[in-house]
Amino acid sequence: MPDYAWPDQEHRTLIGKRITRVDSPVKVSGQAKYTYDVHRPGMLYGKVLRCPYAHAKVVSIDTSAAERMPGVKAVEIVQKPNANIHWAGDDVVAVAAVDEPTAEDAIRAIQVEYQKLPHLVSDAEPPQGATQEEGPLSMNDIDDLLDNQVPNRQIVEKIQQYGVTEKPTEDKLKSFKSSGANDAVLNALREATVHPEAASRPKSNYEKAAAQTVGDPDKAMAEAEVVSEGLYGVPVITHCCLESHGTISEWPDADHLLTHISTQNVSGIPGQMAEPLAIPASNIHVHQDHVGGGFGSKFSPDRWGIFTAQISKKAQGKPVRIMLERDAELEVAGARPSAYARVKVGAKRDGTLVAWQSESWGTGGPGGGGMPPIPYVFTIPHQRKEHTAIRNNIGPARAWRAPNHPQAAVLTMCALDDLAAKLNMDPVEFFGKNLDITKPRQDIYREELGIAANLMGWNEKWHPRAQNRSGNITRGVGLSLHTWGGRGHNSDCDLTLHPDGSVDLKLGSQDLGTGTRTCILIVAADTLGVPMDAIQLEIGDTTYPPSGGSGGSTTIGGVSSSTRRAAVDARDLLFAKVAPTLDAQPDQLECVNGRVGVKGDSHRSLSWKEACAKLGAMPITVRGTNPDRTKPPDLTNSGVGGVQMAEVEVDTDTGIVKVEKMVAVQDCGLVIDLKTAESQCYGALIMGISYSLFEEKVMDPTTGRMLNANLEFYRLAGFNDIPELVVHMMTGKGYDERGVIGLGEPPVVSPGAAISNAVANAIGVRVPFLPLTPDRVLAALGQKAGA
Amino acid sequence: MDDDDPNLKHPSDKQDNSGVSRRDFLKISGISVAVPLVAGPQAVMAAGQQVPVYGPGKVPMEFTINGKVHKASLEPRVTLLDALRDQFELTGAKRVCDRAECGSCTVLVENKPVYACSVLAIEAQHKAITTVESLMQAGKLHPLQQAFVENDASQCGFCTPGFVVACKSLLDKHPHPTPEDIRRGLSGNLCRCGTYAGIRQAMAQLSQKGA
């Protein structure tokens, strides 16, 4: 059996080293082509007319003037009269024209009449008694769930749990299917329990989404020696990918579609487009070279992606491009659910955590949303948790880098930090004392907590809350812990050795800027003993073997494992061909520094090129797969731990918070490329500063629209906001042998809680909600002064 | 086509328009005279002066980009950014915010950094336009680009060309920028992946060496 295991430290030439990103040169020179940059011959420019109301019914649409305009090639009504619209900015009509200005003119020429309906865009605490138990689903509910793009899996769960109010007709099932329901949903509907009496139940915007009890929380809370109560929360924020969502679709012939799309999920796109377009997935060719950010928002072709294909068909198959405008990108193309909670947490006087109680709420838009995993990281023995999901009209939510974890970190780590303050304990000591209930990662956290404290200079900087005030400028430090899964996804790759010594490697993956290309080449080159630039890597195309979507930090584990297996197999096939020439057995051979030779005998070797010439006339291709139980060991793993610390300076006159320093200590098993791994952490800290201090999707209760759908008022952290950043990757013994684990998400989890805790340490009072804007800081200071 | 009748451009006439787009603003803040659909300029009296009026149809334009002359027939409302990207295949400058906030479209006009999304193409005629594509010479990266590569100053890379041009302009002015110069000089560009740390390191390295 070939040895697929990761080489140990002495036998690695590239893995774990600090290797420069391979696609940097094309990015810094402007040559990298993103979907937005693709200019297909004869390409038409699409624009979308969007609904200005948060909740409305389409009454009538008149597109005749637009259709008559010179240069307009196709008009597609996306939502016909009688369609219900559930958020402002939803697509109503799309047009394609010879250039962008003409398409804009055409959009302006379309007349749509709407019937406005009442909307809710607030995610404030649910009024007393408003929360409704979830119940059986009506056929309208199913329509809404599909309209709102709730994942099929979740719809099935709801149907199975609550039943339906009536038995769906076959016609109704057909219409669900055309709205995106898969067979699992249709089967669940056919088999669902029917509760006709529930049909008359009025619908509330507030729905009980979770209620859980662990142990005996009442008794434990009553017996706790110190109890802290507080209010915490994070608002809805957006993904704000700099390359907006978008697609260019064309029909080379009547049955085949070519789609360029900005996506995190190249291999997964055809399967999602096939049904709405009524063509086989095998007839859909998807291509993408580079993607300008995704952060969890780019897994689906989206409705606009589907209609670029439909419009293209109307326009004789010509390429049709729709890239979202910035306002649409922020309004409809991705939001992170909010989460707020009233938390009560109890401990013994020595700091041992005993009880947790939380009433939480939040919104993920029309779909409601679930409870974040609280209490986070710490499995407090006695817990009572209730969560209300607010269904409202702010637009759909999408997975945002480490879904639900940043929210859980704020709700948990801020509550625990307040408890530590009440106990008069240094948070490092308090969190450290409770690490036993962070199993199975308690040892990792303990080691990381010590390293982080050193790198931050915690012992010199920490002080009891607000005891370090001199004048209006005050400083503080705070910390947070986080975790994530990150096991490698399914990935296939094809590695080909050519008789002339060239090597190519193909897989339908994508590089989001995380360094995926670089890491694949590091693994292949390290295994084959050739330089990275001797291997031609092709990714981002559905003609290559399928590789999973880049979500959940699953990419690095998946692609590195499939690549390792392919490269080991290719190397062993080469050894078998070369062994006779070198008068050796295949298992005596090694490839190092571009030579294939006998281990320990430098006289018996061939150059890589000479060795490959022994392959004969034909190249050989091997397929690497992850997971692959026939080729052990498991090369990827799940479960990481990280500790972050923040130091802030707060001006108590203006309320302005400035982050002065951040420290990230992170484990992710075996690091493939230390350089791009560290960059992930630097980037996550910066993104974390951005959502901690600035970001919020602000909704106008009157119009129901987003007030800051632009980059002036939806603020991202800029150069001036970036403090001293320290990143420490946990590597070596105890970490490397765990295998490769994902890193994209975990380091973005903790900044919100760490920064909020640092501000509380600085000013002596909790600012309940992120972002920590001057008005919120001053309000919290005012309350403290008034108390 | 009555699209350029300024009376129709008022946002309140448009049920789907909650705000004035940049293009609309450029138009309504222009000269309020109805003009016929012709290609060449027409002279009209405005504020007591004869001024040429172009459009609303396409007019021939000529640009000097990276030292080369480019010609195109464009509507006067087309921005320099869209002309570069859609007409001349110079896609290094990116369209992100499309309203002079994020700097992803930064190019040099007469050696000054500008947001190409907020300059009309017609006004950029006969000026020296420099884009990120010109920095690489004979297949070799500019030292500034090399420093970006070494310090891993790009992730998804969508903001990178704008940052490179902004850095080039900063270094032209201050070959040895202080951290304060760097902060101020690059505050007009935004990144979502969080590559500021790498860019800061690249600039610090160049500041020592001089670029």
Pairing verdict, β A284-287 and A256-261: parallel
Interval A241-295: pLDDT, tens: 999 999 999 999 999 999 999 999 999 999 999 999 999 999 999 999 999 999 9
Mean pLDDT value across residues A170-191: 89
**Containing structural domain, residue B124:** 59-131
- Cβ pair B157:A32 closer than 8 A: yes
Per-residue b or e along A249-267, where b marks 16 or more CB atoms closer than 10 Å to that residue's CB: bbbeeeeebbbbbbbbbbb
- Cβ pair A685:B194 closer than 8 A: yes
Task: Give the CATH number, domain containing residue B104.
Answer: 3.10.20.30
Q: Which residue has the tokens 């970001």?
A: A695
Residue A560 near residue A634, CB atoms below 8 Å: no
A542 phi-psi bin (left φ>0, alpha ψ -120 to 50, beta other): alpha
All residues of chain A having their beta carbon less than 8 Å from the beta carbon of residue B148 are: 24, 28
In angstroms, the separation between the Cα of residue B28 and the nearest Cα of chain A is 15
Mean pLDDT value across residues A500-520: 98
Best mutation site among A24, A35, A691 for testing chain B: the one with the most B CBs within 10 Å?
Answer: A24
Amino acid at A284: I
The number of domains in chain B is 2
Angle CA A146–A250–B133, to nearest 5: 110
Angle CA A158–A162–A168, to nearest 5: 85
Interval A293-305: pLDDT, tens: 999 999 999 999 9
pLDDT the model gives residue A467: 66
Domains of chain A: 9-21+488-626 (3.30.365.10), 35-119+245-323 (3.90.1170.50), 335-486+638-786 (3.30.365.10)
Best mutation site among B85, B98, B156 for testing chain A: the one with the most A CBs within 10 Å?
Answer: B156
- Cβ pair B152:A240 closer than 8 A: no
- Distance between CA A758 and CA A777 in Å, rounded? 13
pLDDT the model gives residue A787: 56
- Cβ pair A682:B97 closer than 8 A: no
Residues B84 and B125 in one domain: yes
Grade residue B121 by pLDDT with cuts at 50, 70 and 90. very high
Residues B96 and B147 in one domain: no
Q: Has residue B9 been placed in a domain?
A: no
B156–chain A Cβ distance below 8 A for any pair: yes
pLDDT the model gives residue A178: 80
- Cβ pair B157:A27 closer than 8 A: yes
Proportion of chain A above pLDDT 70, given as a percent: 99
Residues B158 and B119 in one domain: no
Residues B147 and B195 in one domain: yes
- Cβ pair A710:B104 closer than 8 A: no
Q: Has residue B28 been placed in a domain?
A: no
Residue A341 near residue A404, CB atoms below 8 Å: no
pLDDT the model gives residue B13: 37
Asked if pLDDT for residue A322 goes beyond 60, the answer is yes
- Cβ pair A711:B155 closer than 8 A: no
Interval A693-751: pLDDT, tens: 999 999 999 999 999 999 999 999 999 999 999 999 999 999 999 999 999 999 999 99
Q: Has residue B16 been placed in a domain?
A: no
All residues of chain B having their beta carbon less than 8 Å from the beta carbon of residue A99 are: 86
- Work out the mean pLDDT of chain A and round it to a whole number: 95
Q: Has residue B4 been placed in a domain?
A: no
Residue A387 near residue A401, CB atoms below 8 Å: no
All residues of chain A having their beta carbon less than 8 Å from the beta carbon of residue B160 are: 27-28
- Cβ pair B153:A28 closer than 8 A: yes
Task: Give the CATH number, domain containing residue B174.
Answer: 1.10.150.120
- Evaluate whether ipTM surpasses 0.90: yes
pLDDT the model gives residue A783: 84
Q: Has residue B125 been placed in a domain?
A: yes
pLDDT the model gives residue B1: 36
- Distance between CA A464 and CA A457 in Å, rounded? 15
Per-residue b or e along A134-164, where b marks 16 or more CB atoms closer than 10 Å to that residue's CB: ebbbbbebbbbbbbbbbebeebbebbeebeb
Beta bridge partners of A62: A111
Interval A5-16: pLDDT, tens: 999 999 999 999
Residue A237 near residue A397, CB atoms below 8 Å: no
Interface of B with A in 113-152 (CB under 8 A): 131-133, 135-136, 141, 145, 148-150, 152
Angle between helix A152-162 and helix A139-147 axes, rounded to 10 deg: 160
Residue A43 near residue A321, CB atoms below 8 Å: yes
Asked if pLDDT for residue B8 goes beyond 80, the answer is no
Q: Which two tokens stand for residue B37?
A: 């659909």
Interval A201-256: pLDDT, tens: 777 899 988 899 999 999 999 999 999 999 999 999 999 999 999 999 999 999 99
Residue A573 near residue A622, CB atoms below 8 Å: yes
Residues B123 and B173 in one domain: no
- Cβ pair A242:B89 closer than 8 A: no
In angstroms, the separation between the Cα of residue A273 and the nearest Cα of chain B is 25
Residues B121 and B170 in one domain: no
Q: Which two tokens stand for residue A483?
A: 């975790």
Taking the alpha carbons of B116, B121, B127, B133 in that order, is the dihedral positive or negative?
A: positive
Taking the alpha carbons of A373, A378, A379, A380 in that order, is the dihedral positive or negative?
A: negative
Residues B114 and B152 in one domain: no
B106–chain A Cβ distance below 8 A for any pair: no
- Residue that finishes a domain, picked among B100, B131, B162: B131
Residue A703 near residue A54, CB atoms below 8 Å: yes
Residues B155 and B178 in one domain: yes
Which whole-number Å values give the CA distances from B14 to A292, A465, B2, B20, B166, in the listed order? 32, 54, 14, 10, 38
- Residue that finishes a domain, picked among B131, B159, B183: B131
Q: Has residue B10 been placed in a domain?
A: no
- Residue that finishes a domain, picked among B90, B107, B131: B131
DSSP run (H or E) holding A464: none
Closest CA to A108 of B208, B2, B96: B2
Interval A523-569: pLDDT, tens: 999 999 999 999 999 999 999 999 999 999 999 999 999 999 999 99
pLDDT the model gives residue B28: 42
All residues of chain A having their beta carbon less than 8 Å from the beta carbon of residue B101 are: 710-712
Q: Has residue B40 been placed in a domain?
A: no
Query: For A318-375, where are the E strands, in sequence order?
Result: 320-323, 335-336, 339-347, 353-362
- Cβ pair B195:A683 closer than 8 A: yes
- Cβ pair B141:A29 closer than 8 A: yes
Residues B102 and B165 in one domain: no
- Distance between CA B158 and CA B97 in Å, rounded? 12
Angle CA A332–A338–A339, to nearest 5: 165
Q: Has residue B201 been placed in a domain?
A: yes
Asked if pLDDT for residue B15 goes beyond 60, the answer is no
Asked if pLDDT for residue A350 goes beyond 60, the answer is yes
Interval A581-629: pLDDT, tens: 999 999 999 999 999 999 999 899 999 999 999 999 999 999 999 999 9
pLDDT the model gives residue B196: 98
- Rounded to 5 degrees, φ, ψ at A417 are -65, -40
